[in-house]
Structure 1
């Protein structure tokens, strides 16, 4: 812990900005992970298979109750929107599903790009700190008295290296988290799109045969 405190202190003022990126990035990453993995996520195939059996058995109320049991999941919300219009026209069913998809789509992808943006900012702040550190090192060589030159030079190089290192330490995990969370959001979006089309076709066939 002492070594990190020294590392942080020797990095200069840019370390504070990079640390702020770390805190903000971590907060967004954790919030998105909890929201997507524990709230919006669901086993799409298993869920839709149950819905399909109930619809084919003409048990729409039971299917809606199944959606209510998983009311936080994006797919369940879209499916429920279609099921509540099951006895309407094909156009009404399609409109209800499309409207629900337009609501859940932005919620799924909300703040996901922000993680990558914060990682990039942390990297750029590290590079900016490197530039200021090297400028300080050059000034030390040019202007500092001979007995203070080595100390000033070491300080400038320390700022340059530490800010770069700290920026990368923050950016790399955030970019890795962004890849994981983006893939999770895409998986949820793809399932919503796939099974909403399947539901629309299923309900439309039911209307035509009723």
Structure 2
């Protein structure tokens, strides 16, 4: 309350930022995004050929990595180019979902200092208006405006700095996950295409010797 009504949007942004941070920490746990051993297990499934639509549906719903690998298994009988295109399309959607709410967190990190500056300007305006009405004889009026300005500035920075740091941290984590998922996808792609036995080449007919 000492910061004035300009503190309301700062507190609102802090509540949103806290909710996003808690949700992203929970959703971006490594065990839920990249279950350990899932890539090797899926490649073993592909080699055995024991895959059905229900199995693929359960794999896709289990984790982002599972969704990516299931998209390749769904078209495993197609050419390498088609499987690769499906992996790329699914990978873009998976990466977009992992980055959910991060733009909002980055926006809060950007506008936090601006909201603090706005509160500072409001506090200074209030101080000057009080001085114009009552003169400079009462130092409490000036102290109230200065205190309001400083509280808003500090509150804006307190919200913006952690939001910016965590925004960069989550971006880095998502990038690392994407690299690891790409590695697993390439390994599965190689198993589905390069690992298949090549069809035997047709024997070349020998040319009959010319009659002498």
Q: TM-score, normalised by structure 2?
A: 0.79
Greater C-alpha radius of gyration = 2
- C-alpha separation in 2, matches of 1:102 and 1:179: 20
Superposed CA offset, 1:81-109 (max 9, x none): 11222233223322332232232121122
Pick aligned residue for 2:104 from 114, 134, 146: 114
Runs of at least 5 residues in structure 2 that lack an aligned partner in the other structure: 200-212
Task: State the secondary structure of the residue aligned to 2:28.
Answer: helix
Q: Alpha-carbon deviation of 1:208?
A: 5.3
Matched, 1:52 2:27: no
What's the counterpart of residue 29 of structure 1?
21
What's the counterpart of residue 10 of structure 1?
2
Q: After superposition, where does 1:129-208 map in structure 2 within 5 Å?
A: 129-147=119-137, 149-207=138-196
Q: Alpha-carbon deviation of 1:166?
A: 1.0
Pick aligned residue for 1:76 from 66, 84, 96: 66
- C-alpha separation in 1, matches of 2:164 and 2:52: 40
The answer to whether the 8 Å contact 2:95/2:174 transfers is no
Q: TM-score, normalised by structure 1?
A: 0.80
Runs of at least 5 residues in structure 1 that lack an aligned partner in the other structure: 1-8
Q: Alpha-carbon deviation of 1:17?
A: 0.9
Greater helix content: 1
* Between 169-178 and 60-69, the greater mean CA deviation after superposition: 60-69
The answer to whether the 8 Å contact 2:34/2:181 transfers is no
Q: Alpha-carbon deviation of 1:38?
A: 6.7
What's the counterpart of residue 203 of structure 2?
none
Superposed CA offset, 1:20-78 (max 9, x none): 1111112222222222227851146x3323333444xx213269948835733211111
- C-alpha separation in 2, matches of 1:40 and 1:150: 58
- C-alpha separation in 1, matches of 2:22 and 2:110: 18
How many residue pairs get aligned? The number is 198
What's the counterpart of residue 91 of structure 1?
81
